[in-house]
Amino acid sequence: IGVGLVAFGLFFVLFGMLLYFDSVLLAFGNILFLSGLVFIIGFRRTFTFFFQRPKLKGTSFFMGGVLIVLMRWPLLGMLLEAYGFITLFR
């Protein structure tokens, strides 16, 4: 279930970017991606991964980007998410 949710999340994010940053598709993709991640590695490991002390900057940018996409500012939100994603997985 988790791999399917992550795959659909990535599909919706990419499809939302192809359709000139459609905010509904991007928000749906973000929610599916994060819920799939929880299904794959578990809630506790997901929480400890995102909220480690050295990764708080990346987490704040990534989650802030998700919130901004949900508030229908897709371009700014995706830029913040991309920076947070790079900072998280560096």
pLDDT for 24-70, tens place per residue? 999 999 999 999 999 999 999 999 999 999 999 999 999 999 999 99
For residues 57 and 50, give the distance between their C-alpha atoms in angstroms, rounded to a whole number: 10
CB atoms < 10 A from the CB of 58, how many?
A: 19
Say whether pTM exceeds 0.85: yes
Same domain as 8, residue 41: yes
Q: Indicate the pLDDT class of residue 82, thresholds 50, 70 and 90.
A: very high
Same domain as 36, residue 7: yes
Over range 64-79, report the average pLDDT.
Answer: 95
Which amino acid would we find at residue 87? T
What is the tally of structural domains in the chain?
Answer: 2
**What does the block give as tokens for 84?**
């947070």
Query: Quick one: pLDDT at residue 13?
Result: 95
Same domain as 78, residue 35: no
CB contact at 8 A, 32 and 5: yes
Same domain as 58, residue 47: no
